[in-house]
Every structure is written in C-alpha cells, then in structure tokens.
A and B are shown apart, each in its own frame.
Chain A
C-alpha cells in the first residue's frame, strides 16, 4: 500500500458556543482519515454532522483545536507551515459556487494561475480556456457569473478549482444548490474526473453518485467517524444502527 497523500489524525474542532459562557460546540471529535493518490473518499452524514467543517479543515480554512492534517507526511496544521502553498496544492468547490461576481468566467478561472502559480497572462488564458472547454463552458468565457445558470456556475467553479492542477480536489455538496435537472451535468463531470484518477474527498447526499465513484465511504456522526468501508459495506450492508437510520431517512 502506498503512503497517503492526505492523512488526518485525531482532528478536533470546536466552535465557540452561542453567547457568553455557553459551552463550545464540538463539531469534530478525533477524526482519522486517509486518502491515497487517485482515491475517492466520500463523506456522508446528516446535515450539521461536520462534513463541511472537515473539508474546510483539510483546506486550512479552519484552524483545528487538536490533531494533525498531514499532506504528503507534512503536518500543514502547524502554524509555522506555509498555508498558502499547502492550499495551492488542493482545491475546493463549494456548495454555493462562490465564483467572484466582479470577474468574467475566464478571469475567475485564471486568477490563481496568475497570482499563485505565476503564469503569464497569455499562458494563463490558454490554460483557462482549455479547462473551460473541458467543462463545456468555452462559449461563456467572457460572461459574468450572474449571467450563468446554476449548473454552469458550478461547472465554472470546478474549472477554476482544476486549472491549477491540484493534487487533491475537495467537493462540498456541489450539487445541493442545483435544480434537479442540472444535477446530472455536474455529476457527469465529476464521474469523468474520477475516471481520470483525480484524488477527491467528496461530501454529498447523492447516494447513487457515492456508490459509483467512492473507493471508501465515511459516515460522520456526533463528530466522529461512525462507520467506514467500501460503498458495498457502508451503503448496502451498514453494521451500525445510526448508519442504518441515516440511510433509511434518505430514501
């Protein structure tokens, strides 16, 4: 077995409780996770179970209270590590797209290429256009995000995430904000990425999609990994009561 690209060890994350004196809310309570190259790990769990928080912790958008976030064996949760450099190796796609509204689609895609990866204007534009072509949006390169449909915006956000050739792609319920008939176009794209061997951690409520792409399914409950295994194990033959409850309610 090859070494993990990403490992979480005993990750703990709390948010301050509401109001003064309230007890802090424990969202992640000692989470371990391993993601090897070309692997796809799917996070499932009830709303509020901490899937987004876990992804934000991995992408260093949240500071952990305790535990390690190892990227290629280096603990990037250490405050003395260059977080910008670590973040540039990963890419996140958000539930609400979070495109930059003041930039055209192409400029959304090329911003980080130019500012973070040091590409020249022409080179960045060429790579950006190629990536937009790949997600089927080359004809919208000069449009502003608010001129796109939800599915198009999310595909643009995926292009923006992919263009820097990230080693690890983080997807946070990327189809949850979409109209049902637009979900397919985004999922198809993700399946294609998966088939190319993109390493991904995916939070989703789309169980069919999870079954299709996951190497490992991780069920989060009460801030902990409650059950994990192959899709066949976790989704079709869950061993624990909570997992069964959760899956039953989804149906």
Chain B
C-alpha cells in the first residue's frame, strides 16, 4: 500500500460535495417549513376549524377512551397474528401445490385455483358478511359463531388467497437452472423444492409479503361490521350519543402505532439477511451520481 494523502483535486471535490450537502439540507428545511406552514394556515383559518378541533382532537376525550379503544385493539392484534400465521403457512402450501406437477396433486391443484380465484375476486367485505351471517345459519354445532371468530375466518380466507398468489410469483421467479443444478446433484424433487426453490422464492417476495401483512393488519378492523368489539367498534361505541369523534382518531393512531414499527421491522429483517440477492447492485453499490 502506498501512503496516500488526498490530492488537491480530491480535497476540492470533497469541499464541493460538502457545500452541496449543506445546500441540500437548507433546501429540505425551507421546503418542509413552507409546506407545514401552508397546511397549518389553511386548516387554522378554515371557518370550521374550532368546531373540528373539538370534535376530533379533544385531549380529554382521547385520554378517556384510550383504555376501551386499546382493549379493542388487542382483538385486532389477535386476529392479525392468527391470520398472518395461518395465511403464511397455508398460502405457501397452496403455492407449492399449485406449481407442482405431481399427478396425485391434480385434484388439489384444481381446488387451489378455484379457491384463489374466488377469494381474490370477491370483496373482503362480502366475504365477511357471508361468513358472519351465512355460516351461523347452517347451525353447525362444532362451529364457533362469535363475531370475532367468523370475522377472523373471513380475513384468513381472503388473505390466504393473496399470500398464495404472492408465493406463487416468488416460486416462478426462481430460474429453472437452479432446479437443474439441484437435480443434477442428485437432490429429489421434494428436496429441491424445500432447500433450493422455496428459500429463494420467499426471499424474492419479502417486500410484497410484508405489505400484504400490513394491509391485513388494517383490514382486521373490518370484523367490526359483524359486531366484534375491536378498536374501531370500541371507538364507534364511544362516539354514540355525543358529536365527538376523537375516539376514531385515537383508533387511527393506535393502528399506525402498530403498522409503522411492523414495516420497519420487516425492512430491518430483510436487510439483515446475508443474501442481498438481485438488489445488491442497486442498494450496495454506493450512491450513483
């Protein structure tokens, strides 16, 4: 190694970049101040602002309803966790079945296609209503009929179909030469799927999977239409009788409190993965001028 001292040229460039960075920071600050100021001005000078502030942002009311809404949120959380786990596992299985060519799986494959087509095509709201009001009508003794259970079931049914499609795209994104390489080493069909195809497939679709899970977390609020007391329903109950809608705002903030860390967590997790895959050249190559 030679003993390197930055040349005049390098120092000049560095000084230039420093100036540019300072200028960029100044521009960002001014732009933010202008935007925030403009929004605040428009809102605060709106004729109905005083009424709206009391109706939506009353601090006392917020503190009052927080316990009830937070308790409702626990139900959303439970639905979210259960639906995520079931959706991920079953969705992956469905994707494998759908992409496999084993003749024994043929009937299952047809069922998978029908299932995915139906539940991806029907609005969640409709699935919820049908499950919530249709299933109890069957009077099956072994079937729990609580609103939370039926609502959760509808969410699981819908989101499993979404996740199955995402995983199928992931499986199809793995290049056939990977399968050739694995089979050429003597790995069986099943070993190739488990050890070579699926790990790559799952990594290739981390981002869409994560955003689907966030979306699932929000849609868990839909079970409130069946009467299950989740955060939204709790907020709704709290608003009846007076014209103060602060509980809805509280519920919204609580949902954000869940989903923002969730997205960050997934980002951090995928960054920690040793295999940076196809994004390496983009994210790891330094900033391109």
**Residues of A near any B CB (own CB < 8 A):** 56, 59, 61, 84-85, 87-92, 94, 96, 98-102, 104, 111-112, 115-117, 144, 146, 160-161, 164
> Which residues of B from 250 to 289 have beta carbons under 8 Å from A?
274-277, 280
Contact at B177–A96, with CB atoms within 8 Å?
A: yes
Docked pose: A56 CA to B176 CA in angstroms: 13
Docked pose: A109 CA to B85 CA in angstroms: 33
- A117 partner residues in chain B, CB cutoff 8 A: 186
- A102 partner residues in chain B, CB cutoff 8 A: 199-200, 203, 275, 277
Task: Given the known inter-chain contacts A100-B178, A101-B200, A102-B200, please indicate yes or no for A84 contacting B274, CB distance below 8 A.
Answer: no
Contact at A146–B184, with CB atoms within 8 Å?
A: no
CB-based closest 4 A-B pairs:
A88-B186, A98-B181, A112-B185, A116-B186
Contact at B275–A91, with CB atoms within 8 Å?
A: no
Which of B20-28, B70-78, B122-130, B188-196 is the contact stretch?
B188-196
Contact at B187–A112, with CB atoms within 8 Å?
A: yes
- Cβ of B180 within 8 Å of any chain A Cβ, yes or no, is yes
Contact at B184–A115, with CB atoms within 8 Å?
A: no
- Majority DSSP secondary structure for residues of B touching A: helix
- List 18 extra interface pairs beyond A89-B186, A112-B186, A144-B274, CB under 8 A: A59-B184, A61-B183, A84-B188, A87-B183, A87-B184, A87-B185, A90-B184, A98-B177, A98-B178, A100-B182, A101-B275, A102-B277, A116-B186, A116-B191, A146-B275, A146-B280, A160-B185, A164-B186
Docked pose: A160 CA to B180 CA in angstroms: 14
Q: Out of A84, A88, A100, which one reaches B181, CB within 8 Å?
A: A100
Docked pose: A245 CA to B183 CA in angstroms: 37
Which chain A residue lies CB-closest to B188?
A84
B284 → chain A, closest Cβ, in Å?
10
> Which residues of B from 155 to 200 have beta carbons under 8 Å from A?
177-178, 180-188, 191, 195-196, 199-200
Residue with the highest number of chain A CB atoms closer than 10 Å, among B191, B195, B199, B280: B195
Docked pose: A243 CA to B39 CA in angstroms: 79
Docked pose: A87 CA to B187 CA in angstroms: 9
A85 → chain B, closest Cβ, in Å?
7
Docked pose: A56 CA to B178 CA in angstroms: 14
A92 → chain B, closest Cβ, in Å?
4
Contact at B185–A94, with CB atoms within 8 Å?
A: no
B125 → chain A, closest Cβ, in Å?
39
- B184 partner residues in chain A, CB cutoff 8 A: 59, 61, 87, 90-92
Contact at B177–A164, with CB atoms within 8 Å?
A: no
- B274 partner residues in chain A, CB cutoff 8 A: 104, 144
Docked pose: A144 CA to B185 CA in angstroms: 19
- B280 partner residues in chain A, CB cutoff 8 A: 146
Q: Out of A56, A85, A101, A116, which one reaches B185, CB within 8 Å?
A: A116
Docked pose: A61 CA to B184 CA in angstroms: 7
- A90 partner residues in chain B, CB cutoff 8 A: 184
Contact at B185–A88, with CB atoms within 8 Å?
A: yes
Count B-side interface residues using an 8 Å CB cutoff: 22
Contact at A144–B275, with CB atoms within 8 Å?
A: yes
Report B41-71 CB contacts with A as 1/0, cut-off 8 Å.
0000000000000000000000000000000
Task: Given the known inter-chain contacts A116-B187, A164-B185, A164-B186, please indicate yes or no for A94 contacting B180, CB distance below 8 A.
Answer: yes
- B195 partner residues in chain A, CB cutoff 8 A: 111, 115
B195 → chain A, closest Cβ, in Å?
7
Task: Given the known inter-chain contacts A96-B177, A115-B191, please indicate yes or no for A146 contacting B186, CB distance below 8 A.
Answer: no
Contact at B196–A100, with CB atoms within 8 Å?
A: yes
Which chain A residue lies CB-closest to B184?
A92
Name 27 interchain pairs, CB-CB below 8 A, sorted by A.
A84-B183, A84-B186, A85-B186, A87-B185, A90-B184, A92-B181, A92-B184, A94-B181, A98-B177, A98-B178, A100-B178, A101-B275, A101-B277, A102-B199, A102-B200, A102-B275, A111-B182, A111-B187, A115-B187, A115-B191, A115-B195, A116-B186, A116-B187, A144-B274, A144-B276, A161-B185, A164-B185
Task: Given the known inter-chain contacts A102-B200, A146-B276, please indicate yes or no for A91 contacting B185, CB distance below 8 A.
Answer: yes
Contact at B196–A87, with CB atoms within 8 Å?
A: no
- A160 partner residues in chain B, CB cutoff 8 A: 185
Docked pose: A61 CA to B12 CA in angstroms: 59
- B178 partner residues in chain A, CB cutoff 8 A: 98, 100
Which chain B residue lies CB-closest to A145?
B275
Contact at A84–B177, with CB atoms within 8 Å?
A: no
Contact at B180–A87, with CB atoms within 8 Å?
A: no
Residue with the highest number of chain B CB atoms closer than 10 Å, among A85, A90, A100, A101: A101
- A104 partner residues in chain B, CB cutoff 8 A: 274
B134 → chain A, closest Cβ, in Å?
43
- A94 partner residues in chain B, CB cutoff 8 A: 177, 180-181
Docked pose: A117 CA to B185 CA in angstroms: 10
Docked pose: A54 CA to B284 CA in angstroms: 40
Q: Out of B187, B199, B276, which one reaches A84, CB within 8 Å?
A: B187
